C-alpha cells in the first residue's frame, strides 16, 4: 500500500506498545517501528535508512525521561512531530513536555482513536509547515519552499508546484506509483491531464535532479509508473 507513513513508538509497556502498533497499522496509513527504551530508540534512529514522520514517546522510560530524550532529539535536528505519552497529568509536566520540544501530549489512559486523531492533525500541520525536510539522494527537499538543496555542492534547485507535488507524493510511497494514480493525486481526480503532461513533468524533474537524466537513478520508471529512490545518496554528481 503506497503512502504509509513511518512512525516510531518508544514505550516500555509491551501491551500498550503492541496495541498501538496494531491499531496504527490497521488503518493502513502507517508503518510502525518500536523501541522499548531510549537505548533501543537511539539504535533505530541511528540506522542510515531510518526515516520517521512522527515519534510517539513515553515519558516514563526505564533508562531515562522521555522529555529529556525529546529535547535531545530536537538538538540533534529531528524536526518531526513528537507526541508524548504520560501517566502523570500534572500541568507542570505538560508544560515541561512542551518545553522539551514535544508537539502534543496525551495522558494515559487514552483512547487509541484519540491518539490517532491527534497524530493525523500533527502530521497535517507538519506537512504544511516550513520546517519539513526530506532527504532525497544528495539533496534536502523542502516542499514548503519548493526547493532542493545539494548541501555538499551548495547548489539550489527551484521546483514548480507540480514538480514539488510529484516529488512529495513519490517520497511518501514505499513502492512505485502508477501513472494514473500519480496524475490523480497531483492534478486531482476531475482534471483532464494527460499522460503526456505527466511525462513532461517527469522529464523536466529528471533534468533538474539527475546527474545523468537519460539514466535516472533517483526518479526511476517502474511498474507502469515511477518510483523515487531517496536512499540513492551516493549518486555520481557532475
Give Rg (Cα) of the chain: 19
Smallest distance from Ca ion to CB 213, Å: 51
Q: How far apart are CA 226 and CA 143, in angstroms?
A: 19
CB distance 58 to 10 below 8 Å: yes
- Judged by CB under 5 A, the chain residues 11 through 30 that form the site for Ca ion are 12
Smallest distance from Ca ion to CB 194, Å: 54
| CB-nearest residue to Ca ion | 60
Q: Tell me the three cell numbers of residue 7.
A: 512512525
Choose between 70 and 136: whose C-beta lies nearer to Ca ion. 70
58 binds Ca ion (CB under 5 A): yes
Segment lying near Ca ion (by CB under 5 A), choices 54-62, 69-77, 171-179, 181-189: 54-62
64 binds Ca ion (CB under 5 A): no
Torsion sign over Cα 139, 35, 176, 79? negative
Choose between 53 and 58: whose C-beta lies nearer to Ca ion. 58
Smallest distance from Ca ion to CB 50, Å: 22
Torsion sign over Cα 30, 34, 40, 41? positive
37 binds Ca ion (CB under 5 A): no
Smallest distance from Ca ion to CB 60, Å: 4
Smallest distance from Ca ion to CB 126, Å: 25
* Beta-strand runs (E) in the chain: 5-10, 30-35, 54-58, 60-61, 64-65, 82-86, 104-107, 134-136, 139-142, 147-150, 155-158, 177-178, 219-222, 225-228
Choose between 12 and 29: whose C-beta lies nearer to Ca ion. 12
Q: How far apart are CA 18 and CA 44, in angstroms?
A: 17
* Among 2, 60, 64, 213, interactor with Ca ion by CB under 5 A: 60
Smallest distance from Ca ion to CB 62, Å: 8
Cα distance from N-terminal residue to C-terminal residue, the chain? 35
Binding region for Ca ion (CB under 5 A): 12, 58, 60
Amino acid at each position: 500500500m503506497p503512502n504509509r507513513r513511518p512512525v516510531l513508538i518508544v514505550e516500555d509497556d509491551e501491551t500498550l506498545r503492541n496495541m498501538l502498533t496494531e491499531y496504527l497499522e490497521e488503518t493502513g496509513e502507517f508503518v510502525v517501528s518500536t523501541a522499548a527504551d531510549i537505548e533501543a530508540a537511539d539504535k533505530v534512529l541511528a540506522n542510515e535508512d531510518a526515516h520517521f514522520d512522527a515519534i510517539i514517546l513515553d515519558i516514563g522510560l526505564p533508562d531515562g525521561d522521555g522529555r529529556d530524550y525529546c529535547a535531545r532529539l530536537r538538538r540533534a535536528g529531528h524536526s518531526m512531530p513528537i507526541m508524548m505519552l504520560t501517566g502523570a497529568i500534572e500541568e507542570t509536566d505538560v508544560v515541561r513536555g512542551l518545553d522539551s520540544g514535544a508537539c502534543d501530549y496525551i495522558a494515559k489512559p487514552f483512547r487509541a482513536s484519540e491518539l490517532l486523531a491527534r497524530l493525523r492533525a500533527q502530521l497535517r500541520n507538519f506537512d504544511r509547515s516550513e520546517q519539513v525536510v526530506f532527504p532525497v539522494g544528495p539533496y534536502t527537499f523542502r516542499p514548503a519552499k519548493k526547493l532542493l538543496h545539494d548541501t555538499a555542492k551548495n547548489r539550489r534547485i527551484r521546483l514548480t508546484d507540480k514538480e514539488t507535488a510529484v516529488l512529495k507524493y513519490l517520497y511518501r510511497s514505499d513502492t512505485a506509483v502508477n501513472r494514473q494514480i500519480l496524475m490523480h493525486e497531483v492534478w486531482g481526480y476531475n482534471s483532464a491531464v494527460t499522460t503526456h503532461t505527466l511525462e513532461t513533468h517527469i522529464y523536466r524533474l529528471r533534468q533538474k535532479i539527475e546527474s545523468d537524466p537519460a539514466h535516472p537513478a533517483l526518479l526511476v520508471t517502474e511498474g507502469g509508473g515511477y518510483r523515487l529512490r531517496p536512499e540513492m545518496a551516493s549518486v555520481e554528481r557532475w
